[in-house]
């Protein structure tokens, strides 16, 4: 979808995404990480009256966002594992069992539709959710006050 309207005359390597994280979730660093940092906002010309309060609120927002996404990732990875282990099982039941367990959402009463099939993520390269979660954890560790860069990350001393 991201390369849909590129001219077919371009070489293939220029018409496809370099990596799954360069598409939808790849822009999350810019959309969610930058605007939550007072220094980034100052560089963009936005005045932040109380940077410390802003930083604390942004940290809470980020923590909540990561918690919600980690639960979604549990559903997706475990559904995919169950799908491959037994593709003949009742996949809608498996889906809602996982949604109830990890997201604590109740399945709609009386509904028996293939809701799992609405999740196009299942057909994408397997690494999408795992890479995004790993990236979020790395960013959280690397941005901890007083911690500097995360130990063992590429580009840090000892690597």
Q: DSSP H helical segments within 47-156, as ranges?
A: 51-85, 91-98, 127-142
What are the structure tokens assigned to 67, written together?
Answer: 């918690």
Query: pLDDT digits over 47-79, tens only?
Result: 888 888 988 888 888 888 888 888 888 898 899
Give the E-state strand segments of the chain in sequence order: none
Report the alpha-carbon distance of residue 49 to residue 33 in Å, rounded. 19
Q: Residues 6 or more apart from 59 whose CB is under 8 A from it?
A: 36
Structural domain boundaries in the chain? 12-142
pLDDT for res 22: 57
- Given a cut of 80, whether residue 151 has pLDDT beyond it is no
pLDDT for res 73: 85
Strongest mean pLDDT among 6-15, 35-44, 48-57, 140-149: 48-57
């Amino acid at each position: 979808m991201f390369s849909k309207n590129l001219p077919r005359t371009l070489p293939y390597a220029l018409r496809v995404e370099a990596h799954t994280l360069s598409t939808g979730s790849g822009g999350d660093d810019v959309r969610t990480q930058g605007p939550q940092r007072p220094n980034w906002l100052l560089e963009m010309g936005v005045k932040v009256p109380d940077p410390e309060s802003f930083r604390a609120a942004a940290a809470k927002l980020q923590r909540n966002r990561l918690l919600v996404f980690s639960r979604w990732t549990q559903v997706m990875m475990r559904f995919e594992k169950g799908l491959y282990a037994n593709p003949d099982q009742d996949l809608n039941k498996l889906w809602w069992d996982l949604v109830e367990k990890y997201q604590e959402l109740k399945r709609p009463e009386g509904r028996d539709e293939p809701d799992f099939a609405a999740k196009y993520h299942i057909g994408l390269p397997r690494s999408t959710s795992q890479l995004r979660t790993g990236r979020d954890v790395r960013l959280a560790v690397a941005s901890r006050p007083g911690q500097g860069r995360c130990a063992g990350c590429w580009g840090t001393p000892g690597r």
